[in-house]
Each structure stands twice: as structure tokens, then as C-alpha cells.
Amino acid sequence: MMRTENELTMRNLRNMNQELQMQVKELKQKLHQSQQRVTFCSRAADEAEESRGEAEKSRVSAESRALSFQRDKETAEADRRRLGEELQQLKKEVNS
């Protein structure tokens, strides 16, 4: 009788051991997948940060060009007004 109980206990322990080993294997797989996701997310975050930096540089450059264009426009308008005034003056001189 004792031998049968011991055999049952051993069988139960082996079964529990197999189940635990399967659970450990599954947990290791999940850990590996999580580590891969962390690596992927870290790379994506780095790329996003780099893209953000490039976008910021582009924005600054675009603002600088816009200011330059605005100054050029204002200079051209001032030149046009001045030339218009000179033209009017010349017309007066010719008609006088």
C-alpha cells in the first residue's frame, strides 16, 4: 500500500514538474517577446526624436527664409515707391 502511494506521489510530482517547466518555458518566451518589443519601441522613440529634431531644424530654416523673403518684399516695395516718385518728378521736369 505504501509503495502505491509513493508511486502516486512521484507521478503527481513529475506531472507538476512538467507543468511548471512548461510554464517557465512560456514565461521565458513572453519575456523574450517583451524584450523585443522594448527594443523596437526604443528604436521607434529614438527615430521619432531624431525626426522631431529634423522637423525643428526645418521649421527654423523656413521661418528664417520667410523673414528674409519679407525683408526682400519690403525692400522691393520701398524701391517701387521711390522709383514711382522719381518717375513722377521726372515727368514734372519734362512737362515744365
- Half-sphere exposure of residue 78: CA atoms within 13 angstroms, side-chain side: 6
Total number of domains in the chain: 1
Which pLDDT score is estimated for 1?
59
Per-residue pLDDT in tens (0 to 9) along the chain, 96 residues? 567 989 999 999 999 999 999 999 999 999 999 999 999 999 999 999 999 999 999 999 999 999 999 999 999 999 999 999 999 999 988 887
Residue type, 41: C
pLDDT for 95 equals: 87
Q: Is the dihedral of CA 8, 12, 17, 22 positive or negative?
A: positive
For residues 66 and 59, give the distance between their C-alpha atoms in angstroms, rounded to a whole number: 10
CA–CA distance, 64 with 72 (Å, rounded to integer)? 12
Q: What pLDDT does 60 receive?
A: 98
Domain that holds residue 53: 1-96
